[in-house]
Structure 1
Amino acid sequence: MDTQLIEEVIHDEQIEIDVRNAQRDLIILKYMAWRLRSILYQLDQAEKQGSEQPLPRQVQERCGRNHRIVIYRQQELLQLRSFAFVGFISKRKGVLQPEVVEAIKQTDQKLVAELVHAPSILSYSSLELPGGDWCNLVVLADSGAKMHIKHSETHIHAAHHLAHDYYKWIRLHNGTMPEGLDPVEMRLLSTKYYTFHPDQQRPSLRERTYGTRQVKEIKTRASQ
């Protein structure tokens, strides 16, 4: 078997692995959307029509796992209209310094508080996974709202100063919710795969976009 053929086989296997991982992640994100919708329908009339922001909720999932949900725009979330979403699933490093863990926790709390002032951020959910890792789901009024998070000083600080010491890898999904919070209709549009290496500060990055029948690899490079 020649070298080119071996590389093609490895490449095809990587695509299959990426697709399977993305499909599993989407199942988790759909569950989180379902839980968010359930909580919205349980709000009393005053909460549904009120202007109090945010509305934090804590749900105890199976095996004692935590599910934190922060609702920023309850009236918009109840509308049957198209939303965008960002899904963040990660794996922590095996050995972590306590100060790094605390810094990540404080950063997450700060970001949740900051998002109150972003009118296109509708909700922010964090689900504890088996093993102590977390999955985040951010529901957005439109895809342009992602730029508010990306340009947040808190987000930039976490990405450039904390992520390398905390994460082994990150899968960052972008998708659409064409029927509002109906989880059945959630679709992935693209995924960025970040892998952190001990010998380099910046993670490597692969990005894939999803069509109706295939997955297309966009790039493989060291992230900027």
Structure 2
Amino acid sequence: MRSELHRAISQWSRVVPELFTCGELHDDRYDESLLTAILLPTMEQIGLLQGTEEPAPVRLPRRRRLFPRHRRLASRLIIYRLPPAPMGELGFVGFIGKKRAGLSAEVVERINKLDLALVHELVRFPELVSYASLQLSDGNWGNLVLFTQPSLLEGLRTSQRHRYAAFDLAPSYYEWVRLHQGTVFCAGPLPVLMRETTRYYVFDEALPRPLLHVSYSRQARQGPDVKVGKGSGQDLAGKRDLEEASA
């Protein structure tokens, strides 16, 4: 698996991260490729740490860049815990957001400080494996979280910092976000992302809650060997009309 990963990462590194932008709200056809570009070096680093033979246990969390420093855009990978080996499946959440134009320095500073605080707080969640971020060519970011148990998501929902970020800061910082959730199948030569749901949040500062549109994937229900049409916009089985997002 490691040699396959290395070859795949070499191919991606020729175009990543300059290839990607966040697009428009429902323009999610590139997100699978974007999240895969984040996933591959993440899984390679996890595999390297799992294979480390040291007299003392590997010290975690461990922080590094996804891609080399000479790349024009920034990236970040934090490995909090190593999943059991051999890996079978992991849960994932992928986040792509479009920043508002003309953000004030105060809002940007509040977001940066909260980001640092959240990175440190995530240590306390035993289900969390990794948190990776990749800057896109339009200045926005794509993020990928890997975890071993879905209880992580409930833990994040009860986190005061996470709720402050989602309900207080996000409406003033983002126009909208796409939030993908699903499973990473790790048993093959390369890890495979299988999306289960995508939530599209639209932030309107005049409304008390963001508007939410949810789509569901046929592919996730049928399993990882099913091939669907090109682009993630063609594998939707069900939709829910725009409604107010629940807390």
The answer to whether the aligner puts 1:222 opposite 2:244 as a matched pair is yes
Q: 1:195 aligns with which of 189, 202, 218?
A: 202
* Bigger helix share: 1
2:139 aligned partner: 132
Aligned partner letter, 2:77: I
Alignment partners' CA distance in 2, 1:47 and 1:162: 42
Contact kept in structure 2, 1:205 and 1:221, CA below 8 Å = yes
Deviations 1:63-90 (A, max 9, x none): 421110000112x165321110000100
Deviations 1:19-69 (A, max 9, x none): 973341111111111011222344472579725221111244574211100
Structure 1 residue matching 2:176: 3-state secondary structure: strand
Aligned partner letter, 2:138: G
Contact kept in structure 1, 2:217 and 2:237, CA below 8 Å = yes
Alignment partners' CA distance in 2, 1:85 and 1:32: 12
Alignment partners' CA distance in 2, 1:55 and 1:158: 24
* Bigger shift: residues 43-52 or 22-31: 43-52
Q: 1:69 aligns with which of 77, 97, 104?
A: 77
Shift of 1:131: 1.6
2:223 aligned partner: none
Structure 2 length-normalised TM: 0.75
Contact kept in structure 2, 1:67 and 1:126, CA below 8 Å = yes
Instruction: Show the 5 A alignment for 1:92-103.
Output: 92-103=99-110
Q: Percent identity of the aligned residues?
A: 29
Q: Which runs of 5+ in 2 are unaligned?
A: 1-22, 220-234
Q: 2:123 aligns with which of 103, 116, 121?
A: 116
Alignment partners' CA distance in 2, 1:48 and 1:138: 29
Structure 1 length-normalised TM: 0.82
Structure 2 residue matching 1:22: 3-state secondary structure: coil
The answer to whether the aligner puts 1:27 opposite 2:33 as a matched pair is yes
Q: Where has structure 1 moved over 6 Å in runs of 4 or more? A: 17-20
1:12 aligned partner: none
Deviations 1:130-187 (A, max 9, x none): 1211111000102222111222111101112111110010001101012269755211
Aligned partner letter, 1:220: L
Alignment partners' CA distance in 2, 1:19 and 1:195: 8
Alignment partners' CA distance in 2, 1:48 and 1:130: 42
Alignment partners' CA distance in 1, 2:107 and 2:188: 34
Change in 2 beyond 3 A, CA 1:47/1:89: farther
Aligned partner letter, 1:53: L
Aligned length: 207
Alignment RMSD:
2.7
Q: Which runs of 5+ in 1 are unaligned?
A: 1-16
Alignment partners' CA distance in 2, 1:48 and 1:183: 30
